[in-house]
A and B are shown apart, each in its own frame.
Chain A
Amino acid sequence: MPRSDRLLLLLFLPAGIVFAAFFLVPLGQLFVIGGTGAQGWSAYGAILTNRNYLNSLITTTVLSAAVTAITLAISGVAGVFLTRNRFWWRAALVAMLTFPLAFPGVVIGFMVIMLGGRQGVVGDLAQWLTGERLVFAYSITGLLVGYVYFSIPRTILTVMAAAEKLDPRVEEAARSLGAGPLRVVRDVITPGLKPALLSAGAICFATAMGAFGTAFTLATRINVLPVTIYGVFTEQANIAVAAALSFVLGVLTWLVLALARTAAGSTVAAAG
């Protein structure tokens, strides 16, 4: 090994040791413990064979897919609009849209309570308009709203970066050939944004699958997978099954991100 390589290895070593001791080894341990409970290795199948876990998996997947679709639509429209139009307070809008990026999930849950809780502003508005209070924070709608809330800041910059690179001349050409605005969006803008939408969508989906804090604060009866796992761990104290389930969840989210990454550039999710 050349001297310079040895030096690089030495520089990487501290991070490598910490990472191995506190991440790789524990992850391996998690995998082993998942297979050594009362059910043995079949604990890994439990996510498909146990009705509760399967329901939880389906709910979480459907919810995450819906969140991804809604977020991409919102971020796509707002992102393209903000790259195509210049006005002096545009930067302020971009700052606002990316601002909640680092809010923890619990705080986002509380934001949903401020919007749609028993004393929420949407409830006030609905009462004023229709005479009936609208409380949605503690239902699946509340979860959806919360997840979209933390997904928008995570996607908008990616969409804007991609929209910046789109060539407006192609759109003009399409328009001059007689394409209507919808046709331009469908056949020119959306395909151009596809790689960005894919990677942003993957981040969105993976974050939603693993999100815990928001659901925890809203204390909904809808059992998303992380809440189910938490319940198995604390209430049933079934550590083997909890370990198996969280390992499967980890592999799932990681796979989604890895697949999207091979499809479109590099991406990282941040836990919500």
Chain B
Amino acid sequence: MQRRGAAFWCLLGFTLCVCAFLIVPVGMSMLAGVTVNYQSGIESGFTLRWVMQVWDGYRDTIFRSIGIALACLVCTLVLGVPAAYALARAQSGFARAIEELLVMPVAIPGLATAMALIVTYNTLGHFRTSWTFILVGHVLFTLPFMVRSVLAVMGAIDLKTLEEGAASLGAGFMQRFFTVVLPNCRSGILAGALMVVTLSMGEFNMTWLLHTPLTKTLPVGLADAYASLRLEVGSAYTLVFFVMIVPLLIGIQLAARPLELGTKESRR
């Protein structure tokens, strides 16, 4: 048994302070979003007025963000899972280099990526002003998370032996891929998918430059609301965002658990 001396309680206190630093403002903003007048405190009563105001003014951004996040998920699945498989099977120095390259959009600031996209595709008017322009940015930014998450699982299971077994039983490539490879990687695919949707819903740095007045996403709307509307409305909008994102974040933490046990390489 451990002795719980003064040092333990000091460190526990410190850790609790850090937790409070991260969590208290979240709770406060959620509270502020349903308070009649935040300045005079919760005694002023609770209301859904601000939430309704957000719903009326920014409903489109909510649906657009959900739509882009889902489209982004489809793209990263279609592009990322086969790419991860190819990288896992190739296992050469070249494959490692490609993987490093794919991660670059996460390593360099979104501002730079967005700027690069704009200077290149500015002249394609329809593309520039449509929501797919934002989607492209989101796919670049989230693809590494899908690829890495699937790669981590593929590295932990013995893919080669599994496939050889299936092949010796007469399974062709397509059959192996869909009935052996994909089911064995589902924990990685799930973890990657949750991360992709969460990150896409929250992406701001790129989207702020890529959006047009007609293609505002939720975080862009948030920035608008913070800058121009009263604190209660900004809070209510943030509350809506939290309600959308918190289940995803909890899902990520739950999905990460078996992955941590199964693989040593799973940490980003």
Q: Do A and B come from one complex?
A: yes
A interface with B by C-beta (< 8 Å): 4-5, 7-9, 11-12, 14-16, 18-19, 22-23, 25-27, 29-30, 33, 74, 77-78, 81-82, 85, 93, 95-107, 109-115, 117, 119, 121, 149, 152-153, 157-158, 161, 181, 206, 209-213, 216-217, 219, 226, 229-230, 233, 239, 242-243, 246-247, 249-251, 253-254, 257, 267-272
Q: Is B7 positioned at the interface, with any CB of A under 8 Å from its CB?
A: yes
Which parts of B81-111 form the interface with A (CB within 8 Å)? 82-83, 85-87, 89-90, 98, 101-111
Chain A residues, Cβ within 8 Å of B143: 15, 19
B55 to chain A minimum Cβ distance, whole angstroms, is 19
Chain B residues, Cβ within 8 Å of A101: 249
Decide if B86 touches A9 in the complex (CB within 8 Å).
yes
Chain A residues, Cβ within 8 Å of B89: 4, 8
Q: Which residue of A lies closest to B199 (CB)?
A: A102
Chain B residues, Cβ within 8 Å of A250: 108-109, 112-113
Knowing A11-B83, A12-B83, A119-B39, say if A213 contacts B102 (CB, 8 Å): no
Question: Once the chains are docked, how many angstroms separate the CA of A272 from the CA of B101?
Answer: 20
Chain A residues, Cβ within 8 Å of B16: 93
Decide if A217 touches B106 in the complex (CB within 8 Å).
no
Q: Is B19 positioned at the interface, with any CB of A under 8 Å from its CB?
A: yes
A219 to chain B minimum Cβ distance, whole angstroms, is 7
Specify which of A29, A113, A158, A210 is in contact with B111 (CB 8 Å cutoff).
A210
Decide if B25 touches A114 in the complex (CB within 8 Å).
yes
Decide if A30 touches B86 in the complex (CB within 8 Å).
no
Decide if B119 touches A247 in the complex (CB within 8 Å).
no
B4 to chain A minimum Cβ distance, whole angstroms, is 8
* 22 sample A-B contacts, Cβ–Cβ < 8 Å, listed by A number: A4-B89, A12-B83, A14-B82, A18-B75, A22-B117, A104-B203, A104-B222, A107-B222, A110-B238, A111-B25, A113-B226, A119-B38, A121-B25, A161-B267, A210-B108, A213-B219, A226-B111, A229-B115, A250-B109, A253-B107, A271-B109, A271-B141
Q: Which of B26-34, B44-52, B182-190 contacts A (4 or more CB under 8 A)?
A: B26-34
Decide if B22 touches A107 in the complex (CB within 8 Å).
no
Q: Is B11 positioned at the interface, with any CB of A under 8 Å from its CB?
A: yes
Question: Once the chains are docked, how many angstroms separate the CA of A12 from the CA of B101?
Answer: 13
Specify which of A12, A102, A206, A243 is in contact with B198 (CB 8 Å cutoff).
A102
Chain A residues, Cβ within 8 Å of B235: 114
A9-B86, A268-B103 are known; give 14 further A-B pairs, CB within 8 A.
Answer: A11-B83, A11-B85, A26-B116, A81-B11, A85-B2, A85-B11, A102-B249, A104-B203, A109-B226, A112-B25, A115-B21, A253-B107, A254-B108, A269-B107
Chain B residues, Cβ within 8 Å of A27: 113, 116
Q: Which of B7, B25, B87, B112: most chain A Cβ within 10 A?
A: B112
Question: Once the chains are docked, how many angstroms separate the CA of A106 from the CA of B136?
Answer: 21
Q: Which residue of B lies closest to A115 (CB)?
A: B25
Chain A proximity mask over B223-247: 1 for CB below 8 Å, otherwise 0: 1001100010011001001000100
B203 to chain A minimum Cβ distance, whole angstroms, is 7
Q: Which of A23, A30, A115: most chain B Cβ within 10 A?
A: A23
Q: Which of A12, A33, A78, A149: most chain B Cβ within 10 A?
A: A12
A31 to chain B minimum Cβ distance, whole angstroms, is 9
